[in-house]
Amino acid sequence: MTTENIENLEEVKKAYYKVKTSTVEHMKELLHNIKWSKHDELQSKIKELESELENLKNTKKYWLVWDTEKEPEQIVLDCQNKLPVLEELKDRKIINDDSGDSNILIQWDNYHALQVLNYTHKEAIDVIYIDPPYNTWNKDFIYNDKYIDKEDTYRHSKRLNFMDKRLRLANNLLKEDWVIFISIDDNEQAQLKLLCDEIFWEGNFIATLPTIMNLKWNNDQFWFAWTHEYTLVYMKNIIKWKINYFKVNEKWLDKWENDEIWLFKKWANLKSTWVNAPRSKRPNLFFPIFINTDTKTAYITDDNKPKLQSDIILLPMTDWNEMSWRWSKTKINNEKHNIILVENKWNYSLYKKQRPEEWEIEPSYKPKSFFYKAEYSSWNWTALLKDIFSNKVFNNPKPLDLIKDFLILWTKKDSMILDFMAWSWTTWHAVLDLNKEDWGNRKFILCTNNENNICEDVTYERIKKVSNWYTNSKWKDIEWLGWNLRYYKTAFVDVDNLKEITDQKKLELTYNAWELLWIKEWIYNELEKNEYWQIFESNKDIVAIYFKESSRKIDEMKNRLIEIQKQKWWKVKWYIYNNPYEKTMFKDIKKLELKDIPDPILKVYREINKV
Ligand SMILES: C[S@@+](CC[C@H](N)C(=O)[O-])C[C@H]1O[C@@H](n2cnc3c(N)ncnc32)[C@H](O)[C@@H]1O
């Protein structure tokens, strides 16, 4: 964690508060990183933290314990002698526009895909959403190629092993100021929360949001009609916390009235009735407010006498008990514009006005800590898929509007989003829908396995149909959502062992790495390829790979790059096999970034697989 941005005391206090609840390790880390400033107060806080750290070291700690794997996942063992790379299935590419930009689907086990992404997208993802298998009684969770059922006494441990490995890999991908949110239900919520506390750190926990898909659900569970799940939310670094608000829509606007200032709603009565309201407890807040019945205005006076004898006197009374006003005389004077006078049959009442929050910018409102909307009803989304596919394929996919709402809160218009448990690709649909609504340019990487061929036969068809104009079962044209997609599978370069890799295998990896670079650099066009090199363009760089150990063709390639650069004026990112050169040797190439390959890829795989 870097805390360079801790510039003022408020932020330090915030950090300190989080640290108080943290583990010793995180405290150490924070202490180490705080950029000490001149503030004396800060120095004393540091002392306080240090002594607290000492105390913590001597107290008991707690953490989540689960059974280690009796049978390690084959997929993980494979990584000891298989290097994951990507292979594009070109016939599955979807091209809707010629921008060259593209979203990415990786079909296969996410453990392999996440390893690849640890090289290509380290700290490059803004938002991760996943909806992992819930480990219910219905055999929804496959571990080591087998469905886990309720008789399996290790089922929680298996799921924790499964999630632990994947979430740790995912954590490396998140940018520092961004967020991960995870759908879960009661079967695994408690375990997942503790696991996430460990991986993302408890201090970065934002919320467990109850998520109500459908109030009409009637699935009986322990005599309740079960209607909710949860969404766990963690920030990569809590100090960078930010959230968007929901924009108000027209329906919402209808609930507000307008005055000379802005929108308002009638809120609480100005007369206070709570336990501390009696006049004896708050004598200063007991005074008359006068109403001029001609002008319909309320006012107060210093001497508590009306300006006109005919003006009505209001006192904060209930059933002859003397209570108090919520506001002082000064506040009433300063905020006359925030008071509403309501004429009743026999009398008048005063109310506070509620204003939309952040209304100065645009009408918006703070999200509530639970998520419910009629639009979330999962039946609608089952129906939507039925419509797309002309028959029912999925039960209860995640509601499109729910994922859209999460994306509204936690993305910018150009965010990069990852879902590595994508299944029916609701996330994809939500991203494109939102892009269309707000002219956004969010991009996504989706990854899913191909359980029961669902990815190839069903989800890919969904994406294809909804990317284009399509006709649904009612023969209505649905608007297309556009965008391009590249479809990858993971492939492998086999090696004897990950620790010692022969030159020949390194070369093989380099030859097969270009698709990794394709997604790392967002390349969209290959300019040329021969036995020695490959040159591509992204929409802002020239990306090149030199494959050979020998320097025989390096000058020739350099000249080609210079020629290409003359036309494009772009930066050159030049990957060279076992790069022995200094940048200064290629002075004639302007804006050059010299990069080594394949050792950085191997370094990532070795670190992940602990060799
Ligand atoms: C609950 S579903 C996700 C549903 C999705 N949010 C939707 O609305 O369609 C979880 C999915 O994660 C995928 N999955 C499970 N284990 C995986 C793995 N090891 N690698 C990749 N995908 C996996 C499976 O396809 C599984 O169906």
133 close to ligand 1 (CB < 6 Angstrom): yes
Look at residue 359 and tell me if it is in a domain. Answer: no
Residue 56 confidence (pLDDT):
66
pLDDT for 224 beyond 90 = no
Nearest Cα neighbor of 389 from 6, 509, 397 is 397
Q: Are residues 129 and 229 in the same domain?
A: yes
421 close to ligand 1 (CB < 6 Angstrom): yes
Q: How far apart are CA 292 and CA 37, in angstroms?
A: 57
Q: What percent of the chain has pLDDT over 70?
A: 82
Residue 16 confidence (pLDDT):
54
Confidence of residue 2 (pLDDT cuts 50, 70, 90): very low
pTM of the model: 0.75
Q: Are residues 222 and 92 in the same domain?
A: yes
CB 447 within 8 A of CB 106: yes
429 close to ligand 1 (CB < 6 Angstrom): no
109 close to ligand 1 (CB < 6 Angstrom): yes
Confidence of residue 6 (pLDDT cuts 50, 70, 90): very low
* 215 dihedral zone (left: phi>0; alpha: psi -120 to 50; beta): alpha
Say whether 534 sits in a helix, a strand or coil.
Answer: strand
424 close to ligand 1 (CB < 6 Angstrom): yes
Q: Distance from CA of residue 248 to its chain's centroid?
A: 22
Say whether 53 sits in a helix, a strand or coil.
Answer: helix
Look at residue 521 and tell me if it is in a domain. Answer: yes
Name the residue at shortest CA distance from atom 12 of ligand 1. 421
Q: Are residues 226 and 130 in the same domain?
A: yes
Name the residue at shortest CA distance from atom 1 of ligand 1. 133
Residue 562 CA: distances (Å) to CA of 206, 524, 552, 588, 592? 50, 20, 18, 7, 10
Compute how many other C-beta atoms are within 10 angstroms of the C-beta atom of residue 493: 21
Q: Are residues 103 and 152 in the same domain?
A: yes
Residues 235-257 pLDDT 10s: 988 888 888 888 876 666 777 88
Look at residue 312 and tell me if it is in a domain. Answer: yes
For the residues of 451-462, what is the DSSP string, one character each?
GGGHIIIIIHHH
For a substitution probing ligand 1, which of 448, 463, 489 has the most ligand atoms within 8 Å of its CB? 448
Look at residue 77 and tell me if it is in a domain. Answer: no
Between the CA of 258 and the centroid of ligand 1 the distance, in Å, is: 47
Residues 6+ apart with CB under 8 A from 601: 83, 119, 509, 513, 516
For a substitution probing ligand 1, which of 116, 169, 449, 459 has the most ligand atoms within 8 Å of its CB? 449
pLDDT for 50 beyond 90 = no
Look at residue 154 and tell me if it is in a domain. Answer: yes
For a substitution probing ligand 1, which of 138, 167, 421, 426 has the most ligand atoms within 8 Å of its CB? 421
Between the CA of 521 and the centroid of ligand 1 the distance, in Å, is: 27
Q: Are residues 221 and 122 in the same domain?
A: yes
73 close to ligand 1 (CB < 6 Angstrom): no
162 close to ligand 1 (CB < 6 Angstrom): no
Confidence of residue 58 (pLDDT cuts 50, 70, 90): low
Residues 520-554 pLDDT 10s: 998 878 999 999 999 999 878 999 999 988 888 99
Residues 6+ apart with CB under 8 A from 65: none
Look at residue 386 and tell me if it is in a domain. Answer: yes
Name the residue at shortest CA distance from atom 19 of ligand 1. 109
110 close to ligand 1 (CB < 6 Angstrom): yes
426 close to ligand 1 (CB < 6 Angstrom): yes
Confidence of residue 363 (pLDDT cuts 50, 70, 90): low
451 close to ligand 1 (CB < 6 Angstrom): yes
Residue 301 confidence (pLDDT):
94
CB 403 within 8 A of CB 411: no
Confidence of residue 180 (pLDDT cuts 50, 70, 90): very high
Final residue belonging to a domain, choices 300, 319, 354? 354
Q: Are residues 47 and 148 in the same domain?
A: no
Residue 17 confidence (pLDDT):
52
Q: Are residues 430 and 561 in the same domain?
A: no
Question: Would you give the end-to-end CA distance of the chain in angstroms?
Answer: 25
Q: Are residues 475 and 372 in the same domain?
A: yes
Residue 347 confidence (pLDDT):
87
Residues 6+ apart with CB under 8 A from 432: 466, 467, 481, 482, 483
278 close to ligand 1 (CB < 6 Angstrom): no
Name the residue at shortest CA distance from atom 25 of ligand 1. 423
Ligand 1 nearest-atom number relative to CA 423 = 25
Between the CA of 192 and the centroid of ligand 1 the distance, in Å, is: 16
Q: Are residues 465 and 539 in the same domain?
A: no
Ligand 1 nearest-atom number relative to CA 425 = 9
Name the residue at shortest CA distance from atom 4 of ligand 1. 423
Q: Are residues 100 and 29 in the same domain?
A: no
Q: What is the mean pLDDT of residues 101-130?
A: 94
Q: Are residues 410 and 554 in the same domain?
A: no
For a substitution probing ligand 1, which of 423, 424, 445 has the most ligand atoms within 8 Å of its CB? 423
CB 431 within 8 A of CB 417: yes
Between the CA of 215 and the centroid of ligand 1 the distance, in Å, is: 25
- ∠ CA 169-172-177 to the nearest 5 degrees? 140
CATH code, 470: 3.40.50.150
Final residue belonging to a domain, choices 322, 354, 386? 354
Look at residue 428 and tell me if it is in a domain. Answer: yes
Mean pLDDT of the chain: 84
How many folded domains does the chain comprise? 4
Structural domain of residue 348, as residue ranges?
Answer: 251-354
Residues 6+ apart with CB under 8 A from 283: none
140, HSE (Cβ side, Cα atoms, 13 Å): 15
449 close to ligand 1 (CB < 6 Angstrom): yes
Q: How far apart are CA 107 and CA 428, in angstroms?
A: 14
pLDDT for 22 beyond 60 = no
CB 527 within 8 A of CB 149: no
Look at residue 165 and tell me if it is in a domain. Answer: yes
Q: How far apart are CA 184 and CA 295, in angstroms?
A: 58
Nearest Cα neighbor of 193 from 63, 48, 39 is 63
Final residue belonging to a domain, choices 302, 328, 354? 354
Comparison of pLDDT for 241 and 378, the residue scoring more: 241
Q: Are residues 453 and 392 in the same domain?
A: yes
